[in-house]
A and B are shown apart, each in its own frame.
Chain A
Amino acid sequence: MQVMMLIQETPEDFADRNGPAAEAYWGKWMAFSAACGDKVVGGNILGDGSTGVTITVRDGERQIQDGPFADSKESLGGYMIFEVDSMDEAIELASNCPAAASAHVELRPTVDMNAG
């Protein structure tokens, strides 16, 4: 089964990417993804919320806004897709994710549209 891990990060995490703590920040991530090995079949790092655009259409009325939809402290910093045998296995992998310690991560099994 494939499980997507949505990675939420704090503003400090985003700042660490290019700041003085960059080496430690990336070190954690490199080590984490290496430890996941071939369980990772996909993923991407996302720019911080200010680089995003939110689009809503209501009754034909289109609204385009800069930034993420909700103004929460944590925001989506990336995602990874695991190929695993069970949710248990995905939980074990995800619990070592650096973002789980600083903000949080969410796991969602993907829906197989070709199934049965």
Chain B
Amino acid sequence: MRPVDQASPAEEVELAARESYGRLLAWLTSRCGSISMAEDALADALAEAVRRWPEVGVPDNTEAWLLTVARRRLIDEQRRQGRRADAETKLRTAEQIRLTVSASEAAESPLGSGVPDRRLELLFTCAHPDVDPAMRTPLMLQTVLGLTAEQIGSAMLVAPKTIGQRLVRVKRRIARDGLPFEIPPDDQLPERLTYVLDAVYAAYGVGYDDANDAASAAAGLAGEAIWLAALLVQLLPEHAEPKGLYALLCLSEARRPARRDAAGRFVPLEEQDTAMWNQDLIESGEIALWRAAQQGQSGRFQIEGSIQSMHAHRARTGVTDWVRIGEAYRLLLRVSPSLGAAIGCAAALGRTGRTTEALTVLDGLDVDRVERHQPYWAVRAWLLASAGQDASGAYDRAIGLTADDAVRTWLLDQRTTA
């Protein structure tokens, strides 16, 4: 037993849960084939830790301790289910479940904790094509990171009760349909990987523009998304796109401290003080991009990462190369067309004085898709104002679609001076 001098047992439980949750849950799921059953067993183990650790002290290997308790719960539950002999239950029987970690599996474990890492399989299950795309991100956040329905709901603008019910339903469907808990075969892997990367990017994208307060739910999610991207880089070293995503997230996140001035006012990218950018994050992003480039597999996330890298260059050169950024956005539009790529392209064109062309790009977008999309209206308003046209309507739209008070105030000022 370790002496409890730095952290309280309650904090130790939280720390162990934070570090081990996804790994333990993934392993338990791989054994019993049901995410919900694995979650219940792990929740029981964590509750037991909260009760026991203050009495007996924090165990040396918290992960092994939690695994032993969770495994016991899983066996009890299996026996209970077995007695019910429910023919409908597709769960494997207790005999089929190997509830001991074999020596070979223990050797696979990268951290030497004795628990083999099955998180990659779990990520692929969460982002399986048969899982509703809207539920992939929340499912990952809950299973791999152990976030609560309240945390997920706050970040994703859904009532916690609603997101909780949807998660229960999606997990039931995964069990019922017997969705595989495996790394897809090589021929399917690149496509399946894009679903996983998309879901991680969506976690980061939630509230990127709105929530700059580091304590807010959405900003907290940014950190979790970077963590997931780093995990994918580690678990799939042969693939370049996870590194592209990781670079994209690091380079975007690096600017967070500069997005507000000392008085809490919003500062747009081109006016940000580059001294406030997080150099460590920029460096991590640049290294990841460079490593990805060595692998000679181009892809959407590497292009997006390189665009952010071009923005980061201003810290060294003092200027932003909008021509090259515009070219990168055009390439991105060809490789992977999206609303964000089109708006980024229009913004870059506007910066090089090609306002009319930029407005043409925006006019080409589907009206229904942009109607409630704040960045579209903000860029449109700025372009109209630079062209000397009436921008007040577009500014109003952007202001009305903004949740962040600092951004709202900035847009109100822009409208007045336009």
Contact = CB atoms under 8 A, between A and B. Distances in A.
Given A31-B400, A34-B400, A35-B397, A95 B412 contact: no
Nearest to B406: A101
Interface in B390-418: 395-397, 399-405, 408-409, 412, 415
B4 interface: no
B396 to A, nearest CB: 5
Contact of A101 (B157, B159, B405): B405
Contacts of A98: 405, 408
Interface residues of B, number: 19
B392 to A, nearest CB: 10
A70 to B, nearest CB: 25
Contact of A100 (B158, B162, B403): B403
B399 A31 contact: yes
A24 interface: yes
Given A101-B403, A101-B405, A102-B405, A91 B396 contact: no
Nearest to A28: B408
A53 interface: no
Contacts of A100: 403
B401 A35 contact: yes
Identify whether the interface residues of A are mostly helix, strand, loop, or mixed. helix
A71 interface: no
A88 B400 contact: no
Nearest to A92: B157
A101 B264 CA distance: 14
B158 A30 contact: no
A96 B404 CA distance: 8
Contacts of B399: 27-28, 31-32, 35
B400 A91 contact: no
A25 to B, nearest CB: 10
Interface string A29-62: 0111111100000000000000000000000000
Contact of B158 (A27, A34, A91): A91
A34 B162 contact: no
A1 interface: no
A34 B399 CA distance: 10
A15 interface: no
A31 B396 contact: yes
A96 to B, nearest CB: 5
A22 interface: no
A88 B405 contact: no
Interface in B128-174: 157-159, 162
A88 B159 CA distance: 7
A87 B159 CA distance: 8
Contacts of B397: 31, 34-35
Nearest to B395: A31
B404 A88 contact: no
Contacts of A96: 400-403
B396 A30 contact: yes
Interface centre among A31, A33, A101 (most CB of B within 10 A): A31
A12 to B, nearest CB: 12
Nearest to B402: A96
B162 A88 contact: yes
Nearest to A36: B400
Contact of B157 (A30, A34, A95): A95
Interface in B340-366: none
17 contacts: A24-B409, A27-B412, A30-B396, A31-B397, A31-B399, A32-B399, A33-B400, A34-B400, A35-B372, A35-B396, A35-B400, A35-B401, A36-B400, A95-B157, A96-B400, A101-B405, A102-B405
Interface of A: 24, 27-28, 30-36, 87-88, 91-92, 95-96, 98, 100-102
8 nearest A-B residue pairs (beta carbon): A35-B400, A31-B399, A31-B400, A101-B405, A31-B396, A32-B400, A96-B403, A95-B403
Given A34-B396, A88-B162, A96-B400, 4 more contacts: A27-B415, A33-B400, A34-B397, A101-B408
